[in-house]
Structure 1
């Protein structure tokens, strides 16, 4: 009897699926099509990926399934009529949302994703800027054969080394949408070049492709609706306020002459605090960073401490300018608290925020934000003289 009872614990999963029965989706696109939703699924072609030669090696590494429906799930279920395998989204890397759909509102889309157990919520979300999401998913890419891998890695790398993008995952995006004290931002992606030629397999076989996928600006949300875009300078300023700048160059004119100096910013730290002055709310943002002089076209003495101090001040001035640009766009153009100042107030003084939040749309545009930046240049790399100076010697 004991042996028979143990057998019941050894039964397999009732809803298991074999790998050869699945169409593994790595990127999903959502567009508005009239009053309906156009769902595009970028599915891996395992035969083309595994092949080293022969006919299979010349096949497309991914294929695109598309279907229109009254809702996200409706379109997904209708897709079974064209796919020989069950579409599986458990390995999803990218969700691309068309700009037109994002402007209309994403609450219905987010409701479906939050309920469906198959989605892991750790994939990146971006907005197709000036085009449809389906057009993004049709472009063949170089180096990374699977376009979803290219988009994933490029977003991650650019956010760490450039600072004008935001690598936002679905769980964070949904949290910001729900929050009463912070609005959401997402990176924009567009097709750079000839889109039609980019949809041919030859695009991924050229040294200089006819079309490339390129991230461009940050999308600003108000609740679940896209309301506008930040340019590159404003996007970088926003990321400074979030402490998300891992590394980025700051380029400014030399103290004398028309040449340029580049300071590579490293190890930034951000601290945002709330205070009340005579009953009026204010926000203090303090940015501290370390930097290296990576490019000096000027005839300046980098061994002189006064020169380093001057470069630090120029670096601080430039960063404050980018932050001011981001603040101006959010407060005057979009009235969207993408910085999370409401969250800061709520954490500091919940009772005050409870009174303030109902009028936050009126208070936010006039909120005084004080920005302080402290730069510390530690290194000038291998030499304290410019290459031009050494050449003249």
Structure 2
């Protein structure tokens, strides 16, 4: 009996410790944020824009809606969290941040530095660090969130999926999440990069529903070039070719397509990269660091517009040589531009040296900014062709005969 009483007393004490769902939030009280843009406001304020889902529009299947599937709320404040809370002045719902897919900085904010803003997102208990970070080009970041997209009802999903697919199939883009970005910002011997996004077309009318009712939208969103950063500050931009070279050097090529001249230099071949593996090593020669980049690339011919059929191993060797030279050119242009214009080690050459030659890195670390621009880089590229697509000979030969 005594034991039973003690058990009941213990159970009662445990019940007192159970407080229930003290922090519950009702869905009909939340505004689900899927994208956020940060611009430079007046008086050194941050202008924060949140793309929030309109629940009634997403749930509707009638197809006769006259309103947009998302809405944009904005507020200016010295910090991001203040701006988000300030949005309740106009929004009937609290902003719910757990489902953010993209975070966009304007060029003006990125040039001032984005570390404080990223740390805010990292510390926020609701936000998962799996969203993509990017920089808006030639427009305010909020303008990007104001464009409606036809294939994806939610523009934030369009931005997320488009970058995800582009990074897999088209070499000049890269996906970057907050964890990776901050790691490069605080690490020695490597600097971060971000993909740029811009509006193509009429950005003034991109937010109208008319943008969804025509075969060719008046405004589209497109990814273009990579931003070079020094720690958390934007320095400038690489073009498409230099961005592709960066991805080859950093082993970020999953698949891509390109073209090469025919063996007789009459016509073009479409080439698809099947696999690409890059190994970067460092060594010390006469007291100076040297970087060696080796690329093993396997590709296939997917389109043949040559006047003479490709029928011999010699032809394939010529094409492989052209492919190797082209990839080497991409990498050289990327390294040359970054060393001369930006002087920011986005390739992680310093990090490679620190791992392979820690004693030498200890001597280079404090003046790596001066050493990196004159760093010697060697290249070795091997392209191997596997197959010529589905056809042995081009059908163009039969058409021309």
Short-chain TM bin: over 0.9
CA contact (8 A) 2:130 2:177 kept: yes
How far apart are 1:114 and its partner, in Å?
Answer: 2.4
Counterpart position of 1:4: 12
What CA deviation, in whole Å up to 9, does each residue of 1:130-153 have, x standing for no partner? 111010000111110100000001
Counterpart position of 1:85: 93
Residue 397 of structure 2 is aligned to residue 389 of structure 1:
yes
What CA deviation, in whole Å up to 9, does each residue of 1:354-380 have, x standing for no partner? 221111011000001111111110110
How far apart are 1:251 and its partner, in Å?
Answer: 1.1
Partner-residue secondary structure (3-state), 1:127:
strand
Q: Distance in 1 between matches of 2:368 and 2:283?
A: 16
Q: 5 Å matches for 1:1-393?
A: 1=8, 2-5=10-13, 7=15, 11-34=19-42, 35-53=44-62, 57-392=65-400
Q: Distance in 2 between matches of 1:327 and 1:263?
A: 24
How many residue pairs align between the two structures? 392
Gaps of 5+ in 2: 1-7
How far apart are 1:350 and its partner, in Å?
Answer: 2.2
Partner-residue secondary structure (3-state), 2:157:
helix
What CA deviation, in whole Å up to 9, does each residue of 1:5-36 have, x standing for no partner? 55457653321212222100000000001311
Q: Distance in 1 between matches of 2:25 and 2:358?
A: 48
Q: Distance in 2 between matches of 1:164 and 1:6?
A: 58
- Given the superposition, is the C-alpha separation of residues 8 and 387 from structure 1 closer, same or farther in structure 2, using an over 3 Å criterion? farther
Which 10-residue stretch deviates more, 351-360 or 312-321?
351-360
Which 10-residue stretch deviates more, 89-98 or 377-386?
377-386
CA contact (8 A) 1:250 1:315 kept: no
How far apart are 1:85 and its partner, in Å?
Answer: 1.1
Partner-residue secondary structure (3-state), 1:385:
coil
Q: Distance in 1 between matches of 2:267 and 2:279?
A: 34
Q: Distance in 2 between matches of 1:320 and 1:138?
A: 40
Q: Distance in 2 between matches of 1:350 and 1:257?
A: 48
Partner-residue secondary structure (3-state), 1:379:
coil
Partner-residue secondary structure (3-state), 1:382:
coil
Q: Distance in 2 between matches of 1:95 and 1:241?
A: 26
Q: Distance in 1 between matches of 2:115 and 2:254?
A: 32
How far apart are 1:205 and its partner, in Å?
Answer: 2.3
CA contact (8 A) 1:217 1:235 kept: yes
How far apart are 1:256 and its partner, in Å?
Answer: 2.0
CA contact (8 A) 1:300 1:385 kept: no
Q: TM-score, normalised by structure 1?
A: 0.96
How far apart are 1:128 and its partner, in Å?
Answer: 0.3
Q: Distance in 1 between matches of 2:277 and 2:22?
A: 50
How far apart are 1:292 and its partner, in Å?
Answer: 0.4
Q: Distance in 2 between matches of 1:51 and 1:380?
A: 48
How far apart are 1:302 and its partner, in Å?
Answer: 2.7
Partner-residue secondary structure (3-state), 2:172:
coil
Q: Distance in 2 between matches of 1:27 and 1:351?
A: 45
How far apart are 1:245 and its partner, in Å?
Answer: 0.9
Partner-residue secondary structure (3-state), 2:198:
strand
Q: Distance in 1 between matches of 2:180 and 2:174?
A: 11
- Give 1 or 2 for the bigger CA radius of gyration: 2
